[in-house]
Structure 1
Amino acid sequence: MIFSQTFSIDENSIEGADVGVVQASDAELDILTFSILSTDNEGAFGINSLNGQIKVASPALLDFERLPTIEMVVNVTDGKGGSSSAVVTIQINDIDENTVAGVLLFSEETNFYPFPNPTSGNASIKFKEISQGHFTISLVSANGSQVHLIYSGDISNESTIEFSVSHLPKGLYFLRIDGDQTNITRKLMIN
């Protein structure tokens, strides 16, 4: 037996983040198997068939501004012909995408553009109309930890820096550039 349940998770959560465990029971205490029958946001979540644990499968699909609530029909079977289904609702929490780990993100007019975004292999950062000087460019995880130092050195106007992200797990990251009088952060999705 399974009943409707509601969970919540922050938008842009990393792949594999725990959402919650679907609760179900069986009068004969049979081993239960869980599956997602349908959802209004295909591919956003996965479910562990043995314990009902829902996890993020595609962080790019968790966007409060696009779809603040995701519903899925979860089915549970007991292996002896018994089954039950219920709607599981996942509310997507709106996070302030203009601040991360205490760093203020600059407006879109700031001349720092990562591309392609999202990416899965190589990416580039193009600088336009910037002051020349010494800069450090880092890739930072969603929790604020540096995961990759991309570049440290002088950058001039109209520069492009290429780097690889193929060694990193899927998820939301932030490119951070720090200079003498510049601190800029941009979102980068790795898929």
Structure 2
Amino acid sequence: FGLALVACGDDDEKEPANTAPTITNQTFSVAEDATNGTVVGTVKFSDPDGDDMIILILSASHDRVFAINTSSGVLTLRGALDYETTQTYTLEVEVSDSKLETTAVVTINVTDVAENTAPAISDQTFSVAEDATNGTAVGTVKATDAEDDDLTFSITSGNTGDVFAIAGSTGAITVAGSLDFETTSTYTLKVSVSDGTLSDRADIIINVTDVIEGGKRDETKEINSLEAVGNTNPSGLWSDGTTMWVLEFINSKLFAYKLADGTLDAAKDISIPWGQNGQLPVGLWSDGTTIWILILTVDANNNNEVTDGKIYAYTLADGMRDAAKDIETLRPAGNEAPVGLWSDGTTMWVTDRGIYDEETSQYTKAPKIYAYSLPK
């Protein structure tokens, strides 16, 4: 048999062993308001053998939030962050040279960013009188802002006729046009408040209150109880601003009523011994201390001809007669048909209707206003 010999040289040395890539745990941070595509950082890794490597995120739940460049290790943001929801993400990453792999933990801390919240405003109600003039303050709209930002107010709708204005920096509403309760009694303004970025809106209701205009009937202040208390033939009245005294033509009395509610104030009534036997009370006036009542005497058998007239004085506080202040000189002075009286506190003026002749259609005695010194 034959023997074969094989020679071995240096070219037949064993292939060097492969070493796994190296990577260490690493930490990065990113602001919660970062946008998609923002670079978070670059994960560092190496291979002792100089092999080509790739790096992957193994944490499947986080690869929707972050992405990594498989060759460079650059981490970028691909989803929304919210510090209040998640402050830290822990990613498991793997680097491989196609034969061996090494894993590490990459921690990403989300940093808090002061977030802007919208200002807050609620529905509010104010009122203003219909006769308010331009510039009259109606009220100040209140709003709050968590960041204490400067706020700007504006009226966006409901300001029919531009009758209101609002101060942009303070929210103070003022009258800017004519108001009329009978035309529009309520305005609903849409008011917006903005911090420059975000805004809020509310309904601001402004009620226009009625004002009794000159010459207009005010039923709320009327006194309706006259008939119920026997004041069935009123013939004159006077008030001190608190009490109203109403002269009764027939029933010999001066009735007192409270102006506040129109109810009878019987304690202030004044009884007068006239109103019968041809004597008729027809007028009154007071200086607040004494009240003077004009009493006529008529002849019922002669067409109610006035036969006498006198002004009687009473103390207003207690209704007692004050004869020293009577005015008795009407008829002697020619004031034969007195029908009304008024005084400025010094002089008493008494009207006289005169004497009219129906047959000739002429006055035989002309109407006149007589003046008397008021007794002290």
Range class of TM-score, shorter chain: 0.5 to 0.7
**1:20 paired residue number:** 41
Partners of 2:95 and 2:194 lie apart in 1 by: 53
Change (3 A) 1:66 1:110: farther
| Pairing of 1:32-181 with structure 2 (within 5 A) | 32-38=53-59, 41-58=62-79, 60=80, 62-79=81-98, 81-98=99-116, 105-109=117-121, 131-132=155-156, 157=190
SS in structure 2 of the partner of residue 185 of structure 1: coil
Is contact 2:65–2:77 with CA below 8 Å preserved after alignment?
Answer: yes
Amino acid at match of 2:50: L
Aligned residues: 117
Partners of 1:33 and 1:109 lie apart in 2 by: 55
Partners of 1:69 and 1:49 lie apart in 2 by: 22
Change (3 A) 1:107 1:31: same
SS in structure 2 of the partner of residue 38 of structure 1: coil
Q: Percent identity?
A: 32
TM-score (norm 1): 0.54
Change (3 A) 1:183 1:64: closer
Amino acid at match of 2:87: P
Question: What's the CA shift for 1:184?
Answer: 3.3
Is contact 2:118–2:194 with CA below 8 Å preserved after alignment?
Answer: no
SS in structure 2 of the partner of residue 132 of structure 1: strand
Change (3 A) 1:109 1:4: farther
Q: RMSD of the alignment, in Å?
A: 2.9
Change (3 A) 1:41 1:107: farther
Is contact 1:106–1:184 with CA below 8 Å preserved after alignment?
Answer: no
The structure with the greater share of residues assigned to strand is 1
Partners of 2:85 and 2:40 lie apart in 1 by: 19
Change (3 A) 1:16 1:4: same
Runs of 4 or more above 4 Å deviation: 108-111
Is contact 1:21–1:52 with CA below 8 Å preserved after alignment?
Answer: yes
Higher relative contact order, chain-length normalized (CA < 8 Å, sep 6+): 1
TM-score (norm 2): 0.28
Change (3 A) 1:2 1:110: farther
**Does residue 29 of the first structure (1) align with residue 50 of the second (2)?**
yes
Amino acid at match of 1:48: N
